[in-house]
Structure 1
Amino acid sequence: MATDQPSQYDDFLTRVRRISNLQTAGGVLSWDQQVMMPEGGTPARSKQLSTLSALSHELLTDEGMATHLDALESTDLDDDRRAVVRELRREHDRAASVPADLVEEISEATSEALSVWQRAKDEDDFEHFAPTLERLVELKREYAAHIDPDADPYAVLFADYEPYLDLETAERVLERLRERLVPLIEAVEASDVSFESPFSGTYDDETQMALARDVLDTLGYPWERGRLDTAPHPFMSGTQFDARVTTRFKPDEPMDALTAVVHEFGHATYQLGLPDEAYGTPLGRSRDLTVHESQSRLWENHVGRTRAFWDLLAPVVSDHLGDVSSGELFEAANRVYPDNLIRVEADELTYHLHIILRFEIERALVSGDLAVADVPEAWNDKMESYLGVRPETDAEGCLQDIHWAHANFGYFPTYSLGSVLAAQLFAAAERDVGDVEAQVREGDFDTLRDWLREHVHRHGQRYTTPDLVREATGEAYTADYFLDYVEGKYGDLYDL
């Protein structure tokens, strides 16, 4: 009997949307835990999240899903439906390899880990977090072994965040960045040109929050589909209907919060640009973290660190923080300072050495070549080797990021991979729409946003990452544009 394709596909899509709704509901609970939940809520929240995770896993891996996938793969599907089936086949096969009780255990462990990490960071006490980190590493090793016992476990974990650019590509790009950025940073340090922050006072959270909201207004953030809050670690969470951003404030350096806000706005713009009608399906989901990070880094760096952006924003900043010129803001946004310890506050160049450091440490952790107890020393040694600075506290060292509390081993490379893609996409946009910086100076962010929606956002997961890059830019993924961009930009800024 012939398969009733429309009915079969519709039934399949109903299952897919149920899974998506469970996952996005978990995202809201996770957002609440990091932003608003009272500290004592962790025991209940960890159970809630683990239950949602287990239910999602059961739906994804049950016999009915497998039956649908088998049937649909043998039918003549159009391109969009074939893409949806491709993505669910990949998710199903990986998930079906992992026991449900392990999925639930990982979810509960990561939820519990958040408060442990936060206390350890607040109290500068790595030993408080170490047993939790050791448990998470062991759980993710077990997870990777179930998916592919013969593969490098780190490669398996990396594929959770970047499924279509392999780990060898990531390593090749990171190595190329290290080879070219280290001498560039050294040349900047040796230059007679130096930039300083124009901010000498202290600024309370209320003042900085009002400024951050005005910056988001200027960029065109749709408040009816989002909100701005503070969190220990800036992030964006949500869907095309509700994409929330967070930042954090330092009293003496408001530039950090501003760049974080623009970065998270880039993530939200991608999320909000996904097609409404495809919500709950792969065609309504972001491609992967390399592409997601390309959007945040494009807005943060190729828009938010330009002279045009600060020409436009200087009056807004001055209204909140006191008189400051666009030139001073532009210089502050582009100063290179290798002695900075904090990744999310790092400049555009040294940022990638922070990523490489984390990549090397978590690879060694997952492989068993580095014991959890030795992480602080390994971290500090690499900071000293790569950036010439040694953290005095673990709070400013290996405890600064939230990612390991989420068990997100394999996530960090996507930051640099995304920065590379941002430069390639921005170059393609300028070829199509003209001088984006001139448009920014006039307050026109729609032209760039519309180009990104047309060439990236609206596709969701229709294409694999390499195919999406080629569709958007006409070329294969390459680091050439990024390296040309930073060498040209910082060569001019620092008279190299």
Structure 2
Amino acid sequence: MSAEAPQAYDDLLEAYRRVSNVESAVGVLSWDQQVTMPDGGAPARSRQLSTLSGLKHELLTDDGIADALETLDRSELNDEQRAVVREIRREHERAAAVPQALIEQISAKSSEALEVWESAKADADFSQFAPVLEELVELRREYAAAIDPDRDPYAVLFEDYEPYLGLETAEQVLERLRDELVPLIEAVGDSDVTQPDPFADGTYSEQAQEDLSREILTRIGYDWDRGRLDTSSHPFTSGNQFDCRVTTRFLEDDPLSALTATVHEFGHAFYNLGLPQEEYGTPLGSSRNLSVHESQSRLWENHVGRSRPFWESVADDVREAFEGVEDIDGETFYRAANRVYDDNLIRVDADELTYHMHIVVRFEIERDLINGDLDVEDVPEVWNDKYEQYLGLRPENDAEGALQDIHWSHGNFGYFPTYTLGSVMAAQLYAAAEDDLGDLDGSIRAGEFEDLQTWLRENVHHHGARYTTDDLVEVATGESYTADYFLEYVTEKYGDLYEL
């Protein structure tokens, strides 16, 4: 290594840690806006977030970072240092291409849009949200054009969330799942097997649901010294390896919704809390990207939280928490948690099979919005038509339809495919963990999650963003990224449940 490389590398890390600290502050303010901020606080919060977004952009595009990167081009670096330089360079170059004024404008408009979306959803009135959504679409088009005016703008936006697998891979995975899951869903629908619904006739207090959610979080290993559970209109996770918070929501007639959402968000938080603490503020202490993040949440939600041994493990807790289910056994809870709904319009409450059709709808709509092939005012009708086409359902109102998700109010176009990419990755990772650890079902049935936690820490979390997505999958599983494991998993699981 040359004599100047260590100093240039240290300078780069020092500058980038300031960027990361501002980003963390934005996360706390955004969490507060959705969880505890009074309704009247929106105008000030919009300005605060806009200023911090501008400051982050200013720090990321600073000449000091540019100079350090240029110096390190001529330096010998080890593998970890090269990975850090690769990640910071990518962020720096994308940020440098976008005017700071546009970054601040997007942040301010997104903060404003959140309040508008919440009101529009409450009123089930898309027309309230349409004007601000149209502005966000246009702003994101400008953002994509600033980065690369000659490329598909949606592909550019997608790379904010998944920079390495590529939009082509996402399209291939979504098309394969659409082609192979639809016949499976139809076969389930034609089956004579009906799964139980032990919660159908009851109502369940928010407090009882929250108490159970806290018990389950404790059981599966949430670190309360570095986290907290709150409620929000849309469940989410926010934080880092020192402070990572989850939210959920409670439906009085469907306690399974809160449980699955809570376990899903635990997966995100467990990933963040497992990142190396000594690397905080650097790419080695950052999550890889949203596809990997979603692999962690979907692994815990589905491969653990919807598994037969998990429900056998927590059956006593569920029986104690809710009246009316005192005589229900773990097998019945398991089957109830894995019912394939033929009438579920809501993505976050969807079963594992139909869930991906929800993603396909959103992907196709937001891609057409960004590419100029769909007008904002036409979104509700197109949304409803696609739900009818892919799921055989038609939303009765906008709250059940195009207003159900928070993502577009944040301007997060390109995010949705990562849910499916992550689900596919989760199955591959879980299969590798089973191969390495042996009887995972037995451990989960006994309420012991340490072996799985340690495997994920060692094979995914502690790498931070050292590897690209496909390289991380290969390092963790010994194979390239593939949808084979996911399709094998759901075919076997639902074939058993519905006697196919």
Identify the residue that residue 283 of structure 2 maps to in structure 1: 282
Would the aligned equivalents of 1:162 and 1:288 in 2 still touch at CA under 8 Å?
yes
Q: In 1, distance between residues paired with 2:137 and 2:232?
A: 25
**Counterpart-to-counterpart distance in 1, 2:415 and 2:12:** 30
Q: Partners in 2 of 1:169 and 1:152 — Cα distance?
A: 15
The code of the aligned residue for 2:413 comes to F
1:3 Cα deviation (Å)? 5.2
Paired AA for residue 266 in structure 2: F
Q: Could you report, residue by residue, the CA deviation over 1:210-256 in whole angstroms, capped at 9, with x for unpaired residues? A: 11101111111110010000000001110011111110010000000
Partners of 2:102 and 2:176 in 1: CA distance: 37
Q: 4+ residue runs of structure 1 moved beyond 4 angstroms?
A: none
- Identify the residue that residue 80 of structure 2 maps to in structure 1: 80
Is 1:397 aligned with 2:397? Answer: no
The answer to whether the aligner puts 1:421 opposite 2:418 as a matched pair is no
- 1:369 partner SS: coil
* TM, length-normalised to structure 1: 0.99
Are 1:462 and 2:466 counterparts?
Answer: yes
Superposed, which structure 2 residues align to 1:145-294 within 5 Å?
145-199=145-199, 200-294=201-295
Indicate whether 1:7 and 2:11 are aligned.
no
Deviation sequence 1:320-374 (CA, Å, 0-9, x none)? 1131321221011100013101000000100000000000000110111110000
Residue number among 417, 427, 447 corresponding to 1:443 in the alignment: 447
Q: Tell me how far apart the structure 2 counterparts of residues 174 and 79 of structure 1 sit (CA, whole Å).
A: 33
Say if 2:15 and 2:64, in contact at 8 Å, map to a contact too: no
| 8 Å CA contact 2:274, 2:461 repeated in 1 | yes
TM-score by length of 2: 0.98
CA distance, structure 2, for counterparts of residue 91 and residue 464 of structure 1: 14
1:18-69 Cα offsets, whole Å, 9 max, x none, are 0000001000000000111001101000111111110110011121111110
Kindly provide the amino acid, as one letter, of the partner of residue 201 in structure 1: G
Amino acid at match of 1:119: S
The equivalent residue for 2:305 is 304
Kept after mapping to 2: 8 A contact 1:260/1:344: yes
Separation (CA, whole Å) in 2 of partners of 1:338 and 1:400 = 18
| Mapped partners of 2:34, 2:298: distance in 1 | 23
SS in 2 for 1:160: coil
CA deviation digits over 1:99-127, x for unaligned, max 9? Answer: 00000000010011100000000011111
> What is the one-letter code of the residue matched to 2:439?
D
1:24 pairs with 2:24: yes
Which amino acid is the alignment partner of residue 213 of structure 1?
A: R
Confirm whether residue 344 of structure 1 aligns to residue 351 of structure 2.
no
Q: Distance in 1 between matches of 2:144 and 2:444?
A: 45
| Partner Cα separation in structure 2 for residue 334 and residue 34 of structure 1 | 30
Provide structure 1 residue ranges, at least 5 long, that are not aligned to the other structure: none
Residue aligned with 1:458, SS: helix
CA distance, structure 1, for counterparts of residue 78 and residue 370 of structure 2: 40
Alignment of 1:369 onto 2:370: no
Cα distance in 1 for partners of 2:89, 2:144 equals 18
Write the deviation string for residues 231-284 of structure 1: whole angstroms up to 9, x where unpaired: 000011100111111100100000000000110011111111100000000000
Find 1:326's aligned residue among 325, 330, 352: 330
CA deviation profile, 1:153-190 (whole Å, cap 9, x unmatched): 00000000000011000000000000000000000000
* Conservation of the 8 A alpha-carbon contact between 1:3 and 1:71: no
Counterpart residue type for residue 396 of structure 1: E
Identity of aligned residues (%): 66
Q: What is the rounded CA distance, in whole Å, between the counterparts of 1:286 and 1:353 in structure 2?
A: 27
Partner of 1:295: 296
Cα distance in 2 for partners of 1:204, 1:489 equals 32
In 2, Cα distance between equivalents of 1:409 and 1:77: 35
Superposed, 1:10-159 pairs within 5 Å as 10-159=10-159
Q: Secondary structure at the match of 2:395?
A: coil
Using the alignment, how far apart are the partners of 2:90 and 2:380 within structure 1? 36
Measure how far apart 1:5 and its partner are.
Answer: 2.1
Gaps of 5+ in 2: none
Structure 1 residue 404: deviation in Å?
0.2
Q: What does residue 379 of structure 1 align with?
A: 383
Asked if the contact 1:73–1:85 (Cα under 8 Å) also holds between the matched residues in 2, the reply is no
Q: Which amino acid aligns with 2:64?
A: G
| Matching residue within 477, 484, 495 for 2:481 | 477
Deviation at 1:4, TM superposition (A): 2.2
- 1:302 shift after superposition: 0.5
Partner Cα separation in structure 1 for residue 332 and residue 434 of structure 2: 26
1:217 partner SS: helix
Kindly tell me: are residues 3 and 146 of structure 1, through their superposed partners in 2, closer, same or farther at Cα, counting changes over 3 Å?
A: farther
Distance 1:318 1:196 in 2: 16
- Root-mean-square deviation (CA, aligned residues, Å) is 0.8
Q: Do 1:336 and 1:347's aligned partners in 2 also have CA atoms closer than 8 Å?
A: yes
CA distance in 2, matches of 1:350, 1:237: 27
Task: Return the offset for 1:76.
Answer: 0.4
CA distance in structure 2 between the partners assigned to 1:12 and 1:3 by the alignment: 15
Is the Cα contact below 8 Å between 2:271 and 2:287 reproduced in 1? yes
Number of aligned residues: 495
